[in-house]
Structure 1
Amino acid sequence: MTQAKYLEVAKIITDRIDNGTYKTRQPLPDQETLAKELGVSRLTVKKALDGLERQGRVYKQSGLGTFVSSDIPIKDKKDSPANVFSGLKNQLKSDNVRSKVLSFSVEFPDEQMQKNLELKKTEPVYNIVRLRIVDDQPLIIEHTYMPVKLVPDLDEDILHDSIYNYLHHKLKLKFGHAYRKIRAAKSNHYDQKYLNAAQDDPMLELEQIVWLSNGQPIEYSESRNRYDQRTYTILENNRF
């Protein structure tokens, strides 16, 4: 197992669903059985199953356990769950994700960023702009602000890899909740230059604030992609 044990467990369960070991609408082994088999804690198994439920791969029935969901017929490889914030590499489950750093600086926050990240005007932030490249194709431009006091020693080596992996595995920080707003926007100079967007192409813009489990905001960001390159989906889990 790697440091992100719950992701390893989620992949094992996903592979078993895909190869038919776990059948549609049939129950999975209980958490204790899976934990013992895979050599992890029950909490790790629960976290993996919670993530798979958000993705729509499994569903839970109170008192009965966790079951394999039916396939979603309209699902597309461009889909990205709107309620998942595990980082692009983990979302796509791909090693072929690269980051090109377009801009990286440390500066004092303006009034809006002070409000978004609950900072004083003398507390510096990282101002990061990255182009995310998947399978050698430009996909997303991310503009991110993070407080320096919460994310020490961030450098370009980390930016070229995964910021979220650095936060979770190196700094041992845990996310609590996130606010997201998805809207349409007109293409700008960055979109046209780096995402090959036409001047009249609509863009999808995702604005978000992410809080740590202790309630501190750690990230304010805006990410943009071309309308035909990525979609956001929501799967409702209503339990009665």
Structure 2
Amino acid sequence: MSKYLEIAKVLRDRIKSEYYPPDSLLPNQVDLVEEFGASRMTIKKALNILALDGLIYSRRGAGTKILNRSFWDKDTSPADEYGGLTATLAGSNKKIESESIIFEIEFPDEKIQDKLLLNPHQPVYKIIRLRIVDDEPFILEHTYFPAHIVPNLTEDHILSSIYDYIKGDLGLKFAGAFRNVQATKSDEWDQKYLDAKKDDPMLEVEQVIYLKDGRPLEYSRARNRYDKRGYTILDVQQN
């Protein structure tokens, strides 16, 4: 686990146990650097996680305040975080499992060709998998990878972390992502695997991830129940 995630977990536990009481100030960054033996940038990244959780509020010159409650009543993720669910929930002590629903190779239709810059004869992996957190259905992912960029993908990777395989075994580096977050209606897949009702709204995160060399690596649609997950942006005015 990354150092900043470890620090965020320690601080989160202290806040939730009221070791740091509501409305009190968190120790300053200099003290945290000394306590954890970490760089100031590492401490800042840990504090950003807590801010996105709605646990603290920082303002230059006024310190970092412990809020009297989290802003959110559901799991949240940064809107610009595309490192995968395993990385997002690292350090949270949550149990993450995956269920493979569809894992096959097919030729891409026009939409997938357009998103991944492929021709009709370049095969893709089509993956539908259910992500389960603490034994509850959490996200339903519809994902496509070009087979020539992500070779030898197996169901074992699907059931653990695809990104660990892509980054670790294949050595591919992400450059960025285009993400579109929108409200949609539930479909048959959502109703079956996420226990969504027919009239439930869904939060869909559609994205294309790009590699450092500019090639599109992934096109996906992550389906979230409206009452299970949200996405946040940290925007604190310092002036």
TM-score bin (small chain): 0.7 to 0.9
The SS at the match of 1:139 is strand
Letter aligned with residue 212 of structure 1: L
Q: Which moved more, 1:8-17 or 1:194-203?
A: 8-17
Is 1:98 matched up with 2:103? no
> Residue 202 of structure 2 contacts residue 226 of structure 2 at CA under 8 Å; is this kept in 1?
yes
Q: 1:11 to 1:78 in 2, by over 3 A?
A: closer
Is 1:84 matched up with 2:65? no
Match of 2:71 in 1: 74
Q: 1:57 to 1:200 in 2, by over 3 A?
A: closer
> Residue 89 of structure 1 contacts residue 95 of structure 1 at CA under 8 Å; is this kept in 2?
no
Q: Could you tell me which runs of 5 or more consecutive residues in structure 2 were left unpaired when the two chains were aligned.
A: none
**Residues 33-79 of structure 1, C-alpha deviations (whole Å, 9 max, x = no match):** 988987888887776677667667788889x9x96775774223422
CA RMSD of aligned residues (A): 3.4
Q: 1:150 to 1:231 in 2, by over 3 A?
A: same
Q: Could you tell me which runs of 5 or more consecutive residues in structure 1 were left unpaired when the two chains were aligned.
A: none
Match of 1:185 in 2: 184
The SS at the match of 2:171 is coil
Letter aligned with residue 170 of structure 1: D
Letter aligned with residue 143 of structure 2: T
Q: What percentage of residue pairs aligned between the two structures are identical? A: 46
**In 2: Cα distance, 1:35 partner to 1:135 partner:** 33
**Residues 182-219 of structure 1, C-alpha deviations (whole Å, 9 max, x = no match):** 22222211111111122222222111111223332211
Match of 1:154 in 2: 153
**In 2: Cα distance, 1:126 partner to 1:102 partner:** 13
The SS at the match of 1:198 is coil
Q: Which moved more, 1:48-57 or 1:172-181?
A: 48-57
Match of 1:129 in 2: 128
Letter aligned with residue 91 of structure 1: T
Q: 1:172 to 1:69 in 2, by over 3 A?
A: farther
Match of 1:199 in 2: 198
> TM-score under structure 2 normalisation?
0.75
The SS at the match of 2:131 is strand
> TM-score under structure 1 normalisation?
0.75
Match of 2:218 in 1: 219
> Residue 201 of structure 2 contacts residue 225 of structure 2 at CA under 8 Å; is this kept in 1?
yes
Question: Size of the alignment, in residue pairs?
Answer: 236
